Structure 1
Amino acid sequence: MGENMRKKRAAVFAACAGVAVAASGATVAASGATVALSGGADATPVKAASAKGPIKHVVVLFDENISFDHYFGTYPNAANTDGTKFTAASHTPKANTVQNAGLIRSNPNLYNPFRLSSKQAVTCDQNHSYRPEQKAVNDGKNDKYVENTSVDTCTGQYGAPGLAMGYYDGNTVTGLWNYAQHYAMSDNMYSSTYGPSTPGALNLIAGQTYGVHAVDPKTGKPATDSYVLSGANAKGVGTVTNDPDPAYDDCSGKNHTSTNNLAVMDGKNIGDTMNDAGVSWGWFQGGFAPSTAYAGDGTYAQCKTSHTNIAGASSVDYSPHHNPFEYYKSTSNPHHLPPKSTAEIGHNGQANHEYDLTDFDKALAAGTMPAVSFLKAGEYQDGHAGYSDPIDEQHFLVDEINKIQQSPEWSSTAIVVTYDDSDGWYDHRSSKVLTGAQDASLNEPMCTAVKEPVTASGPQDDRCGPGPRMPFLVISPYAKPNSIGHAPLEQASVLTFIEQNWKLPQLGNGSFDARAASFGSLLSGSPKADTVLLNADGSVQSVTPPSKGKGKGKQS
């Protein structure tokens, strides 16, 4: 590499650091310099906030691109013609499914919903962009999916006419159906806004998609890019509706060699408030550990570790735009530096709470699982159609959940399984629009009929939502066994629970944590649920009745 190019690339992070206002005074020096972060290893210790109730640990397993009806459209009725046999308990409560709504044989879409077998697990990826999803919902009629989101043909994966109408049952997603049988599930949970992965990930940790700046990957200077941001104001601040890569990540934009602009977010996320309160936490993602480590000035860490799915197709594990904390300077780990020790995981240090998925397993085995953990599978196991599938996803879910259930922390843990977006898969339900938009070029009339939110920073356009309905399960000794909650929830409901459980302030500036209800309604005041370990195929391995005592898991 020439010296001029080396210096030019080294300046990118330094330039990026000046684009956004740091939420907690963090600074990112030039590539090759030490990353100095507020609350780092040498910072003054903060007295840890105590959990308000019996839940001392929250683990969020955040998977990809599933609508509620796509996985639970006939729950608890499985065909049992293929895959793993599933038999429901006789007292299983009724869910709001497409089958119970009578819409399988007579549906307003161009095609009726149809069952996908376990042999059709690897399918085409559907269109899950911001406006096509709005068009599919069609002002609550939910009748335009085939025209707007269905992708029926692709290379090397299963396709069919009107594929977006396809759904699986308990013979394929057996593990999730069994978890729903023994723990709690919501049939009324929605993405906080319409759109693909990045908006969903940002809504999970910040309840906010507004506040993005576009950044030139070569110079780090502000840029104008409608793909990165929409509804930009005079200062070049807008809303994320697509999947731009984060600027504070060496592995973004093919190691910053792409011509695609990168994204930086203003404001605070839940990581900032947990840091302020001394609550241990971490984001753990498959493939975050670099395949080639950062080597100093003028270099970038590389993330090229890959795996194959059940169809033999290979994909790189780490996806930068699936990691929401890397968009914020205060909670980023640009060079993918590892923690210096297992004891550091969840606490301040050079990794800055950003870790590889294997680090979670190390902390769990050591008995030091953080109070709040977000787990993201490598791409081949995250459930995203096109490169993943429900069977590979199930392997990830069962493996991680079994490990947690076999740890001492299980007695005080709530595991959440939910998703970033719907992938454009059909769902017969949609939410009333609560947050509208004025940008008619990007939004349907159902969105523009509702005013966009206005905060102290000004209008926040293109945040139409809530968006599509998605699965949401809570697996915990405190979950209400074999129950289905109907209270409205959204992605930001995870934020609300964390804030209330650890007595943290709301994020403000239009964050959806102000309107989102906590998922606490799915929990009981004492341990009632069995400990249910599953096999790799999702079938039940063992069932242990709950302890009569209250949870006393160790909080790290």
Structure 2
Amino acid sequence: MRAKLFLKVAVIAIALMFIIIAFSPEASTSTVSMQNKQGIRLDSDTGTRTPIKHVINIYLENHSFDNLFGIYPIDNYTANSSISANLSIPLNLLSDRAARNMLTEIPTGTFYTKDPNEGYVSYHLDFNHGKLNGFLKGSGPQGLTYYSAAQEAPQWDIAEQYGLADNFYAPCLSESAPHHLYYVAGYSPIINDYGPPPYIPYSQSIFGELSKYNISYGVYLNNTAYRCASWNFLYGHSHYSSHLQSWNAFLNQTANGTLPAVSYFFSQGTGKSMGPPDNILNGEMLLLYVIDAVEKSPLWNSTAIFITYDGFGGYYDQVVPPVMDNVQLGLRIPLIVISPYAKEDYISNTQMLVTSILGFIDYNWKMPALNKMVDDSYLPLDFFNFSDMRGPIQFNASAGFPVPSNIHFALVTDTSTDNYSGLFPMEPQIPLNTLGYNRSGSSSVNLSSMGVGILNKNEHGYIPFFESIGFYSLLVVVEIAIAAAIVTMYRRR
């Protein structure tokens, strides 16, 4: 009798596990996926609010604003001081001599630092309740450094020709994984580099929203097998695997004009992401190659490129980050906006974070705000002058820019004799004294003020039953029941 009872308990528990798994969110996701593959229009029309028909997001790694643009646009090496003297100056170390004296300029020929100590604890030590004086205890002395035009000239030139934000923050005071989740979903159920689980349901990400509204998108990795947090943390992503593509696919689609409306281009895990201790020149070379490909393509006249970083990486920045929607933001990181409609030599003072980019996507394609933080985030509209379209600016190898021959170039290791400061500044495409707009400013427009509504009002992380403590507890019960049944039957013999 006892053996039969134990076996019944085991059978019921196993059946319960299968039922729960069968009705999990991943199983139900496939229905939506099939509908979208059939091209069914769900809610929105195909028009955009702006001339932008393609948004390309490029994600680099681990640098603060002051670490990369701390003395922009001052170049101590170049002869073009007359141009530099007339460029817009962001809020950086040039306005804080004491902070600059506390830091070390990375010498010419060096394109990397030792990796600052990373982590939730280290970054909170850096932050020190807003005093920003704990870097020696937290991230270490390597975080108290900044680059100059000797290393950063290519990226400085891109910022000069287009737009740069000096009030753009990491979405939280932590490491890469939660930043990735804010980047694609506007929130994070984790506070540091662990998981999944918990996951974010695919429907709560920007990709889920784009699928719902039948707007094309792609996620591009050098190696699609790489465990990119922005993809692998999304529960149900296996039903959308056709959207996960290679860098080669990105280049081919760009060249033939078939790139989807929204693209996410990730550099992580390649040695070309600029993340320390990697050589940042490799990241700049990748950036130049991708920008060059877009500017040569038929997509240029309808494209906006948003270039940013997944966090400040333990590098010093002088600005105390604000709190938004009860979230302590991380330190400032760079944001560069490239477009034929981007203002030249423009500094945006708008308070933003990666949810502002999500907000722009929602705004442009007339969708509701992905979630409350996206709804509240100011939009990067001040970067653009939609009444005037500019031609592409080629950053040519013939002019000395380190543009590689292909996107899969071998990593550069010896830069001891390299000094790129002579490339900066470039001659402005449009004479600065003829521009019909201010070269700095801000915007207070957000989706909340427009009343477009919110798609996900109750975002939350998800732990599948078969990865939960409850599942493993039930598994133990099953094993005990089976073992007890076997022991009972053995004793009867």
Same fold, TM-score > 0.5, yes or no: yes
State yes or no: 1:142 paired with 2:132.
Answer: yes
Please give the alpha-carbon distance, in whole angstroms, between the structure 2 residues aligned to 1:333 and 1:88. 51
Could you give the per-residue CA deviations for residues 119-159 of structure 1, whole angstroms, max 9, x where no partner exists? 32232211232232122122222111121112xxxxxxxxx
Structure with higher RCO (Cα < 8 A, 6+ apart) = 2
State yes or no: 1:59 paired with 2:75.
Answer: no
Compared CA separation, residues 375 and 102, structure 1 to 2 (3 A):
same
Amino acid at match of 1:135: L
Could you give the per-residue CA deviations for residues 438-484 of structure 1, whole angstroms, max 9, x where no partner exists? xxxxxxxxxxxxxxxxxxxxxxxxxx421110000101111110010
Task: Give the aligned partner of residue 173 of structure 1.
Answer: 152
Larger % of helix: which?
A: 2
Compared CA separation, residues 48 and 434, structure 1 to 2 (3 A):
closer
Deviation at 1:527, TM superposition (A): 2.9
State yes or no: 1:380 paired with 2:315.
Answer: no
State which of 470, 481, 486 in structure 1 corresponds to 2:333.
470
Contact 1:192 1:512 in 2 (8 A): no
Q: Taking structure 1 as the reference length, what is the TM-score of the superposition?
A: 0.64
Amino acid at match of 2:383: L
Compared CA separation, residues 88 and 203, structure 1 to 2 (3 A):
farther
State yes or no: 1:80 paired with 2:77.
Answer: yes
Deviation at 1:263, TM superposition (A): 4.2
Ranges in structure 2 where 5+ consecutive residues have no aligned partner: 1-17, 403-419, 432-493
Compared CA separation, residues 127 and 515, structure 1 to 2 (3 A):
farther
Please give the alpha-carbon distance, in whole angstroms, between the structure 1 residues aligned to 2:80 and 2:86. 18
Please give the alpha-carbon distance, in whole angstroms, between the structure 2 residues aligned to 1:128 and 1:522. 32
User: How many residue pairs get matched?
Assistant: 388
Deviation at 1:542, TM superposition (A): 9.6
Contact 1:69 1:97 in 2 (8 A): yes
Identical positions, percent: 24
Computed over aligned residues only, the root mean square deviation of the Cα atoms, in angstroms, reads: 3.0
Could you give the per-residue CA deviations for residues 274-329 of structure 1, whole angstroms, max 9, x where no partner exists? 111121111111111xxxxxxxxxxxxxx4xxxxxxxxxxxxxx3x1x34132223
Compared CA separation, residues 465 and 104, structure 1 to 2 (3 A):
closer
Q: Taking structure 2 as the reference length, what is the TM-score of the superposition?
A: 0.72
State which of 379, 383, 392 in structure 2 corresponds to 1:522.
383
* SS at structure 1 position matched to 2:28: coil
Task: Give the aligned partner of residue 365 of structure 1.
Answer: 255
Contact 2:341 2:388 in 1 (8 A): yes
Contact 2:256 2:297 in 1 (8 A): no
Q: Show the 5 A alignment for 1:532-543.
A: 532-534=393-395, 535=397, 536-537=401-402, 539=423
Deviation at 1:103, TM superposition (A): 2.7
Compared CA separation, residues 87 and 128, structure 1 to 2 (3 A):
farther
Task: Give the aligned partner of residue 329 of structure 1.
Answer: 235
Task: Give the aligned partner of residue 498 of structure 1.
Answer: 361
Q: Show the 5 A alignment for 1:147-162.
A: 147-150=137-140, 162=141
Could you give the per-residue CA deviations for residues 320-373 of structure 1, whole angstroms, max 9, x where no partner exists? 1x341322234x248xxxxxxxxxxxxxxx633111222111111221011111
Compared CA separation, residues 17 and 65, structure 1 to 2 (3 A):
farther
Please give the alpha-carbon distance, in whole angstroms, between the structure 2 residues aligned to 1:244 and 1:127. 17
Please give the alpha-carbon distance, in whole angstroms, between the structure 2 residues aligned to 1:479 and 1:485. 11
Contact 1:105 1:113 in 2 (8 A): yes
Ranges in structure 1 where 5+ consecutive residues have no aligned partner: 1-13, 29-35, 107-111, 151-161, 210-238, 247-261, 289-302, 304-317, 335-349, 437-463, 547-556
Larger Rg: 2
Please give the alpha-carbon distance, in whole angstroms, between the structure 2 residues aligned to 1:325 and 1:167. 32
Please give the alpha-carbon distance, in whole angstroms, between the structure 2 residues aligned to 1:183 and 1:374. 20
Q: Show the 5 A alignment for 1:92-491.
A: 92-104=87-99, 106=101, 112-150=102-140, 162-209=141-188, 239-244=189-194, 246=196, 262-266=197-201, 268-288=204-224, 303=225, 318=226, 320=227, 322-330=228-236, 332-333=237-238, 351-377=241-267, 378-386=269-277, 388-436=278-326, 464-491=327-354
Deviation at 1:44, TM superposition (A): 3.8
Deviation at 1:15, TM superposition (A): 11
